[in-house]
Amino acid sequence: MRYHNITKDDMLNGDGLRVVLWVAGCNHCCRECQNPITWDPNGGLPFTEKEEAEIFAELDKDYISGITFSGGDPLHPSNISAVTALARKIRTKYPDKTIWLYTGSRWEEIQQEEIVRYLDVLVDGEFQVDKLDQSLKWKGSSNQRVINVPATLREQKIVLHAD
């Protein structure tokens, strides 16, 4: 896996104060994407044990609510296994921290992936500039959904995250 940035003390990509991992690689290539530099799976920098330790050092802080995976697309074929492994480690070491993930894929396409077992919130769907709405919380266009993953798995129907 490769990444572009690790943002600390982020308040824009999920509830609370978060650390955000911006991965490289996206096949969705949404028109007017805010991060087209992240589309190339060979872009950015290699994600190593050093970066993992940096993320864990942030998550060690009591005031950090959790991690958000964004990019690029954390579910891109070049990312999914490493992001899943990292999410599994985070869920084990920090059971009270929340894990958010942004993807251009839809819930219906990825609900069987192992990673969903570790997520608290999934923001799904491609950004669609014709449905841009800057008043929306946690998403850029009205077609996207902010999904409460544990409730969705429990209820076996999509449950949206309460703002």
What is the predicted pLDDT for the residue at 33? 87
- Each residue of 14-30: pLDDT tens digit? 999 999 999 999 999 88
Which residues, given as ranges, of the chain have pLDDT below 50?
none
In the chain, where are the structural domains located? Answer: 2-155
What is the predicted pLDDT for the residue at 163? 72
Look up residue 128 and give its two tokens.
């669609």
Query: How many C-beta neighbours within 10 Å does residue 13 have?
Result: 18
> Do the beta carbons of residue 150 and residue 117 sit within 8 Å?
no
